[in-house]
Chain A
Amino acid sequence: MMRRVTRSLFTMTVALLLAGAAGAEEPPMLEPEIAAGKLPPLVQRLPRTPLVVDVKRPNWTPGRYGGDMRMLMGKDRDIRMMVVYGYSRLVGYDEQLRIVPDILERIDNEGSRVFTLHLREGHKWSDGQPFTSADFRYYWDDVVNNKELSPFGMPQALLVRNKGPRFEVLNETTVRYSWDEPNPQFLAVLAGPSPIYIYRPAHYLRRFHPRYVGQEKANAQASAAGSRTWAGLHQKKDEQYRNDNPDLPTLEPWINTTPLPSTRFVLVRNPYFHRVDTAGRQLPYIDRVIVNISEDKLIPAKAGAGEVDLQARYLRFDNYTFLKQNEKRNRYRVLLWEKALGSQMALYPNLNVDDPAWRTLMRDVRFRRALSLAIDRHEINEVVYFGLGVESSNTVLKRSSLFRPEFREAWSKLDLKAANTLLDGLGLTKRDAKGLRLLPDGRPMEVVVDTSGESTEETDVLELVRESWRKIGIALFARPSQREVFRKRVYSGKAMMSVWTGLDNGIPTPEMSPRELAPTLQEQLQWPMWGQYYENNRTGGQAPDMPDALELVRLFDAWRQSADDAEREQIWLRMLAIHAEQVYTIGIVTRALQPVVVSNALRNVPAEGIYSWDPGAYFGFYHTDTFWFDSKGRP
C-alpha cells in the first residue's frame, strides 16, 4: 500500500516538467487578467511541484485550451456533481483503482495507523490564498472539535473503536493523523466521490467563526443572513461538496460562479489549479462548464437534440436507441459504459420479516437457494436486456481482482429439479388445487415482492421470474409503491421480499471497505434490523442470530483491524464466499450499461469505461480536466 502511494506514476515526471514549465503557454481566457496584472503568471500560480497528468490510455492525447462544455442536470442541487466530476481530492483513484496522491504531493502510511500528509509547496486556493496545514488545523480545532458545529462528533470514518486520531501539524506543508489501531478506510474515504473534507479554507471561513470574530459579531452576521445560529451560517457557507457558495474558495478544476437558485450555472476554470499536462499547460483544458437545469425526464430528449457535450446522468439504457438515432444529425456519439453494480437488479429476501412462518423460511438457506435456482436468468437477459447483460449472482464483477467464477455461478443456473427437491426437503410438499405449495400453517406460498415503482424494467423482470417460480409451486406478486413507502415497509419488516440494485461497488479492491457485505446499515434490504443494530452502535434494531451473519460481522471487524493487504484480500474472499453460498441476495443480471452522450468535438473521453459512484466518481477518475475540444469548440 505504502509503496504504491508514495511512488506514483505521476510524480515521476515532475522533474522533467519543471524545466519546461516557465515557458508554457497561458490559457487564453486568463490572458487579459494577467496582462492587467490581476493574476500572476502561470509559474507563480502553480505549486512548486504541480501534478503532471499523463493518462496511459489509447487515444489519449494532450489537448488545447478553450471551449464551453454544456451539461444538463435535473435540479439546482445537482451542481454538486461538478465536484464529483472534477474529482480533485487529497488522494484519488486512478483508472487502475490504485489510490494515488492528487492534491497531496505524497503520503506516508505506516501500517495504516499513522498517515503523514505532505502538501504541495506553494499550492493555492482558487482565490490565490495559500493552501497550507493551517487549513487542516482549522478543520480539526474549529470545525470537527467544535461542539456547535459538530454536535454529533467526528465522521464515522475517522473513528476506530469510537476513538478519533491524534492530529499534529509538523510544518507548513505537513500534517499527521495517527490512530492506535489501524484505520484502513481512511484513504478510501479521502478518495471518495463525496469525501470527508479534513481541510477547510480557513482564511475565508474564519469570518463566520466566533473564535476569530467574537461571539457577538458571529451571531449578528448569522441573524442578518437569516440563520438561527452562527453554526448554521458557517455550515451553509462551508459546503465544499454542495458547491452552492460561489464565494467559497475551492481546489476543484472549475469554480461555480452562480448562486442557487438558477436554471443555468456557469463554472469557470480555477486559475490556481494544481495539475498540468505533459507540455506544462495548466489543466483544465476547458474554460467553462455550463450546467443547465431542466426537467429530468426531458434530459434524454434534450441530449438527443444535441444540447449537451457530455451527459450520462438521467440517461437510461432504454434511451439508447433514441439517442443513437440522432447521433449523426446532432453530431455526437453515444458510448455504452459499464455500471459497477454487483447486479443490475437483485431480489432481497427480508430475513427480518414480521410474519413468523415466512421468517423461518427466509432464514433457511435451502429456501433462498431454491428461489435462486428457479430463475431463468438467460431468458431475462435476452428479453429485457437484449442479451447484453451477464447472468450472474449478486457478486463482484470480472474487472475486480476479487472476482472468482464460482461466486458468479453459485446457485445461479436454472435448475427447477434441484429447486423442487430443496423445497420438498423443507417439508413443503402439500399443494393446493392450483398447484401452489402450502406453508406449514396451510396458507398458499405467495411471495409479495415490494418494488419502489420507479421503472417498468423491474416489473418486466419480475413478470419473468413469476413464470419460472410458478413451476416450483410458488406464486409471486409485485407490489409497487413509492420509494419512501418502500423503504419504510422493508425496514419495519412488513415487506417479505424487495427488489433493488445489487452491490453498489462491484469493482472493489482489498483496500476498499467490505461493509456492504456485512450487516452494517439499515438500508441493507436483506437484513434491515440487523443493519440498524450495528449502524446505531449496537442499540436499536435486532442483533443477528444466524451464525453466518455473525461471521460476516466478525470478518468485517477483522478487516477494519487489518493492516496487511494479503490478509484483507483473504477476508474479502471469505466474505464473498459466504455470500455466494448463503444467497442472502438473489442477483439476476449484471453488467448493466450506461449510455454516455459525448459531443464529436470533445476529446479524451474513453470509448469504454466504468460508470461508478465509488470508486470512480462517475467521470471523475477519467480526468475530466483533460477533456478538450477539438477545432475551437463545437462544430
Chain B
Amino acid sequence: MMLRYVVNRLLLMIPTMIAISIIVFVIIQLPPGNYLESYIAELQAQGESVDPQKIAFLREYYGLDKPLLQQYLHWVGGMLRGDFGYSFEFNLPVTKVIGDRMLLTIIVSGVTILFTWAVAFPIGIYSATHLYSWGDYGLSLLGFLGIAIPNFMLALVMMYLANVYFGTSIGGLMGPEFIGKPWSWAKTQSVLEHAWIPVIVIGTHSTAGMIRRLRANLLDELQKQYVVTARAKGLSPRKVLFKYPLRMALNFFISEIGSILPHIISGTEITAVVLSLPTAGPMLLNALKSQDMYLAGSFLMFLALMIVVGVLVSDLALVALDPRIRLQGGVAR
C-alpha cells in the first residue's frame, strides 16, 4: 500500500515538473527583450558603448536568434542530461556559478532553522502552559514584534547600529581573506563567526511565527478531554504535556517541512541582498533582473523540485508519525 502510494506520487511528479518548466520558461521570456538587450541597455545607461559585431556573435553563440520553442527544448533536453545551460552573465556553465553559493546557502539556512526551533519550542510551550501570565504576554509581544518587523528592515537597522557603535561592517559571511579560498577549518570558523547575525536577522520572523503557531496548536490540545483525564488520574504535569498534547500539536510543524526546503534556497533574498551574503538568493534576483534565462530558469526549476519533494517528504512523515492519518482514505471512497 505504502509502496504503491510512493510510486504513484513519484510518477505524478513528472507531469508536474514538465508543467512547471513550461511556466518557468514562459515567465522568464515574458518581459520584453532578452539578455543581450538588457545587457546593451545597462551598458548604455552607464554611458558605455557596445560593439555591434560582438553582440551579433553572442546572439548567435547563445542561440538567442533561434525560435522560442527550440530554445525551450534545448534547455529541457540539457537538464535531463545534467547540463543546466550556460549563464550569460558569468560566461560560465550554470552549475559552476551556483556551486559554492549553494553550500553557503544551505549552511546559513540550516543554522537558521535550528536556531528557529531551538528558540521557538521552549517559548511556545511556555506561552501555552502559562496562558495569560505576564511571561506569556511579554513573549507574545516580542513575537508580534518579530512578525511585524520585516527582515530586511531589521538587517538595515543592525547594519547601521553596528557601523555607528562598533565601527564594523556586518555584511558578508566570512572574513575577506577567505573569500574565494578553498574550505579549511579556519574558513569554517570564520563563516560561523559571521553567520550569527544573518541567522538572527533571518530567523526572527519565522521564530516568532512558529511561537504563535505552536502556542495555538498546543492550546487546542490542552483543552481536550484526554488531557483533563490524564491530569485527574494524577500523571505528572511534565508527562501530561509531552506524552500526547505536544505530539499532537506537532502536525503543523511536520507539514511545514515541505515549505522549508525551498525556503532554504531562496527564502531570504532581500535580507541576503541587504547583508550582501554570498548566498543563492541575490544571485537568483539578479539573474531574473538581467534575464540571464538559463541561470534563472535552472534556479526556479530547482526550487520547484524542492517544493515537490518537500511536500512528498512531509506527507510521508505525517503518515509515519500520526496513526490517525490513513492512506486508503481517498481510495476507498
Contact = CB atoms under 8 A, between A and B. Distances in A.
B86 interface: yes
A226 B93 contact: yes
A436 to B, nearest CB: 32
Interface string B162-200: 010000010110001001100000000000000000000
A504 B93 CA distance: 35
A156 B52 contact: yes
A294 interface: yes
Interface in A475-520: 482-485, 487-488, 504
B57 A261 contact: no
B91 A236 contact: yes
A320 B132 CA distance: 52
B45 A483 contact: yes
B10 interface: no
A262 B179 contact: yes
A264 B175 CA distance: 11
A389 interface: no
B180 A484 contact: no
Interface string B147-172: 00000000000010001000001011
Contact of B57 (A235, A293, A485): A235
Nearest to A232: B61
Contact of B60 (A151, A192, A263, A612): A151
Contact of B37 (A194, A235, A244, A484): A484
Contacts of A538: none
Q: How large is the interface on B (under 10, 10 to 19, 20 to 34, 35 or more residues)?
A: 35 or more
Contacts of B276: 263, 292-295, 298
A192 B49 CA distance: 10
Nearest to B59: A152
Given A263-B179, A483-B41, A152 B56 contact: yes
Interface string A296-308: 0010011001010
B249 to A, nearest CB: 40
B226 to A, nearest CB: 53
The A interface, classified by DSSP as helix, strand, loop or mixed, is loop
A90 B185 CA distance: 46
Nearest to A488: B32
Contacts of B31: 482, 484
B51 A155 contact: yes
B92 A228 contact: no
A260 B180 CA distance: 10
Nearest to B270: A295
B176 A295 contact: no
B105 to A, nearest CB: 13
Contact of A295 (B33, B53, B96, B282): B282
Contacts of B56: 151-152
Interface in B215-234: none
A244 B169 CA distance: 27
A504 B47 contact: yes
Interface string A253-280: 0000011111110100000000000000
A484 B47 contact: no
Contacts of A229: 61
Q: Shortest 6 CB-CB distances between A and B: which pairs?
A: A613-B47, A264-B179, A484-B33, A226-B93, A152-B56, A152-B53
Given A194-B51, A228-B61, A484-B31, 12 more contacts: A76-B90, A152-B57, A155-B51, A156-B53, A226-B83, A259-B180, A260-B97, A294-B171, A295-B273, A305-B163, A305-B169, A614-B49
